[in-house]
Amino acid sequence: MENFDFGIIGGGPAGYSAGMFLAKQGKSVVLFEKDCLGGTCLNRGCIPTKSLLHSSQLFAETKKLEEFGIKVSTEEFDFSKIIEKKDKTVEKIRKSLELAVKNSGVKIIYNEACIKNNTTILAGDNEYNVDKIILATGSRPRQIKGLEFDNEFTLNSDDLLKLKKLPKSILIVGSGAIGIEWARIFSNFGVEVTIVELAEHLIPLADIDISKRIERILKQKKITFFLKTSIEKIENKIVTLSNGEIITPDFVLVAAGREAYTQNMECECTLGDACNQIQLAHFAISQAKALALGLPFNKDLVPSIIYGEPEIAWVGIQEKDCDENCKSTLLPITALGKSWCDDSTDGFIKVITKDDKICGASIISKEASSLIHILLVAIKEKLSIDEMKSICFAHPTYAEGIFDILMNIK
């Protein structure tokens, strides 16, 4: 029986990050992965969807190239090539990850593992003795009663990555990150998209101004959505909504989030999606960093990003959380010269301030996924408004919008 300081079950962002961090601290680590290293993020989530999203955006942009003096002879695409590009991207990143994990000194066992006791992990015919076990088994798509996945008509996000051809129409249940990003992908490729959301607004976890703006943007893109609505029944691929609407999509995507998947195992140390807190890869990596390196982080300052054009990002408190001492300031992206150059003028930067400090921010703009981190650092370090104003922001950029909005705060 081999002996290790740590045994980690699950090779997603939480598992491989914890393993690499611990190995760099001189600990012996064995990592068990029953499928592919990288977890949902690399293989079935963040990376493949961003590849598809980028391809879809490039295609959508061809329709307005003439505005920039560029003429193209065709507006067609080869979906099989797009899928091939996605697969190659995932494979390339996975190979690099595997090499990095191995080079860090972590031993990888590609086999399903289970916990025998507090110090023993079983994998295949072998037992591994460890001083401490870390459970990082990730999550799986959440099912809704009455909308169970049949992997043919009622699909989850994993199923979509197996598509060989595009549908003509799709009904998406849920308007979180998964629902909105897939709506954008399909719409960019010309698929008829309908979204059903039970909440009062789209992206219910976002600031209300973000929700209202994305609703306007989706209408402009001719994406249909129904709010405060659910699916009443599905019969013979005919979908009846609670508002009486009848829809006949090629299939239904249930994008109702994900649920922790612990494979019926219990462990004192659980990281990532399996701990059922914030199911984001960067949260999982930060958890691993806190465990292995003793570098804690503020769970209230985990940024949320929804990708596509324009990007959506937020961190900290929102206007609904404000008291009478808070101030909300909004700057339209149209105020920035860079947005006109890029023909990307729909959006805004919004900050919440209190006692001369930034305490929350919401952005809908090109490059929002990067911009939010400037404000995140300001919130985390409790920088004053005047300290932020003293920073020299380059022109023309989207980042200078942060300077502009701060200059408007009195």
* 384, β-bridge pairs: 357
User: Which pLDDT score is estimated for 173?
Assistant: 97
Strand (E) or helix (H) holding 57: helix 46-62
Spatial distance between the Cα atoms of 251 and 398, rounded to a whole number of angstroms: 38
Q: How far is Cα 144 from Cα 146, in angstroms, rounded to an integer?
A: 6
Architecture of domain 310-407: 2-Layer Sandwich (3.30)
* Residues 6+ positions from 264 with CB-CB distance below 8 Å: none
| Domains of the chain by residue range | 2-140+258-293, 143-254, 310-407
Q: Looking at the domain that runs over 2-140+258-293, which CATH code has it been given?
A: 3.50.50.60
Report pLDDT for 63: 83
Kindly list the averaged pLDDT for each block of 10 residues, start to end, along the chain of length 410. 92 97 97 95 95 95 86 84 96 97 96 93 94 95 90 94 94 97 97 97 96 97 97 94 96 94 87 94 97 94 97 96 91 97 96 95 97 97 95 97 91
Domains 2-140+258-293 and 143-254 fall in the same CATH topology:
yes
User: Which token pair is 222?
Assistant: 């001719």
Preceding peptide of 296 cis, ω within 30°: no
Return the CATH class of domain 143-254.
Answer: alpha beta
Residue among 226, 251, 30 at smallest CA distance from 122: 30
Q: Can you read off the two tokens belonging to residue 94?
A: 């996975």
Alpha helices in 221-336 (DSSP H): 281-293
Instruction: Please name the residue ranges forming H helices in 104-235.
Output: 157-160, 177-188, 208-220
pLDDT the model gives residue 241? 96
Token digits of residue 24: 């760099």
Q: What is the pTM of this model?
A: 0.94
pLDDT of residue 19: 98
Three-class DSSP category at 278: coil
